[in-house]
Structure 1
Amino acid sequence: FHNILCCYILISLQLKEFFRVDENMMSHLKKYAALVIQSRVLWMRSMENWRYSFNLTRCYSSEETESNITKTSVIFSGIQPTGVIHLGNYLGAVRQWVDLQENYNPIYSIVDLHSITLPYDHKTLPDSILTMAATLIACGIDPSKSILYQQSKVLEHSSLCWVLTCLTTIPQLNRFPQFKEKSAAFKNKSVPTGLFLYPALQTADILLYKTTHVPVGEDQYAHINLAANLANLFNNKYGKTFPIPKTIKAPETIARIKSLRNPSSKMSKSEQDKRSRIELLDSPCEIREIIKKSVTDCTSEVYFDPVNRPGVSNLMTIHHALTAKSYETIRKDCEHIDTGKYKLLLADVIIEYLKPIRLKTLQLLNEKQYLISILNQGSDKASEKAKHTLEEVYKKIGI
């Protein structure tokens, strides 16, 4: 329809003498044609991005449940040290990491190299790394069951990243929605190259350990698809080297906890309004205040309706995730209270659940040498695995 309309308008512009269209009408036609063409371009770009992610998913990567993972599977995931883990991170990722280590030997990285792709405070980064390590351990990550390490201590990450960058094209990296969103914040187009190459480094993180499975949220699917694509490309060019990584999907109901201030978007560390999230180290008073001010609506009843009542439904999703109560059970339990009182009830549930994590984290932060030793031991184990992979890669590419 857009194509036909554009052709009609353009022909009309060319043949205006024959149609005897006055200048005022021609002005309106030109403006309308410009809007139609602009919307067509935006639509084509969005379809291009969608096709890119869809085709990679269809051709190279796939989702799996934990039941399909074997003892020989290699599980890898990472988290940036900047910012404190919030409830969305915990429920959507970290809690799943803890569960996975009970049956497998996963590798978890504190990805500090990724954290320097955006403006950061270099003076506080070392403490942020230790805080992240302490929080992960307090959440249940066991260094005797998992490899927990600091990314920058394993130099092979950067080396493999360079090799993979030489296989990656600019259009591939330019399509990533996260790059477009984050680069928009920079003035005068002074976007750091590191931000552009972020997906290539993430691919190196995954392939360096010959990862077979990656637990991720929906917003990271495109990154895993790139890893699968580059693994396939490298294997075809130089011989079988990397497994094609698959995603492990988080439980559907808790995969994406929403912002407490804007329930149309996910809960995020980067959102400027601190009231948009519950951080694992928040005090009971802070948690109560944040939940009290969370966005809901004018309806007083408590029931689950994510389409028409996203704010209340988001709170109920958190409640469900922390207690395993069904939405119907929560609704029945709250039949005689309004959303204001429900917020206070939920705040107490969150406070009680996070209390041991918060106390354990604060305790570990007083044992910095212990945290450093854990990360060093993890880095040694990770380096041993990474060294063999990089040697194999170098040999195959001829250097």
Structure 2
Amino acid sequence: MLTADEEALRRQEELAIQQEVLSMGMFHSVGDTTFDMGAILRMDPALMSLKVEELDAMLAAELADLDSLGGPDFGMPMGPMGGRMGPMRGMGPMGGMESMEPFPNQQPIPPVPPVPEDAPVVKAVLVAPTYQSSKHNMPLLGRLDVLLGSVGALEDIQVALQHAKVRTPELKILTDATKPGGWAVTHEAPTRKNILNSMKWLVQDAKPGDNLLFFFAGHGGQSRDTDGDEEDGQDEHICPVIQGQHPKFAAALEGSLEREEADDLLGRPISDDEIFEQMLKDLPEGVRLTTIFDACHSQTMADLKHSYEVHVEDEEMARARRQEPPPPGFNFDKRPLICKELKGKQCAASVLCLAGCKDRQTQQTWCDQSGPSMRGAFFLTNMLAKAIGGMRTPNPSYADVLREITRDFYRGNRLNMSIPSFSTSSAVDLDAPFSLVGPLG
């Protein structure tokens, strides 16, 4: 039960979120290029018949409806560097509003069972920026749009850990999101320096039998590969926050600071090469590391050699983009998995990477409507918590989890379809029970 002061603070945050939505409008910048998201949306077949005024009115009505539901927090449109707002109401072929049955993935996460005191231990780092201080057009980055689903992402990953029956006595949280009652541990800002230091802390003194987890829910991007280790010529990266309020920020922009300090203030992205160097390169055999990247362009964020995804037909992808419901008998339960060997790097440890989309795809945040009010969340993390919690399949295997989150991506993405995936340091038995501890196989 919130106190009167906490309730007032919560309402103040709700109003700030609504103002943020309205102020951002339909235009997003990346470098010198500005994207008209209204024009992009109108290219969707379900919206092509709408006039500009009708589209604006529809979006305004959607925001008003969110306000009437008392939603304290929801995923923002991220623009070209990120995903898009979670599912709107069903759009008929002529752009008219029509009712839709609730998505299966709008069911609540199953209740969390007690974690035994002797449960396995996982050392964990959880990173979820909101980018509320990052409203600057930066070289390469463009504008990092605010992501207000970070609170939900951090809540969901901690529920997922409990469902996985593990304890996290060593836990670091990096976020600039606020939450009534605070976080489970003292948190740090998700700056470039702090994220890199948290990676070092995570793997420091790791020995065989240790179980580690690195979680990131935020903006991801791509830049030109400079060392020839990428099949598509693009490095992937995660985006720290830009410290726009720092007194030395202007000096960093002018180039009068040392490179390392300037990179930290300007939020220079952390590339997949740096991620591998910091966390994976020197991990010894017998260590288990799980990485989760709920971000755009994330499939090869850990630079691993083996990749697994659910086979999705081109027509199914097209149907999803047209916002059409699944065909009769649609089911992912026995869908074949695609196994690929990538141009990854050698790693002695057992490493599993869960990614929200392919390297060329964008990811979306999520309006979770499964509780008494809307809240912001990140799509992969929310669906992962439900899959691990056995919402459909008790004691799921790796294959079960991958099929379930892929099916939910298909059913829940209203404006774009992205394909989640696993990648691993060595071949894995996908029929083995899903676990965050121990060897992969």
Q: What TM-score do you get using the length of structure 2 for normalisation?
A: 0.25
Q: Which has the higher helix share?
A: 1
Q: Which has the higher strand share?
A: 2
The higher radius of gyration belongs to 1
Q: What TM-score do you get using the length of structure 1 for normalisation?
A: 0.27
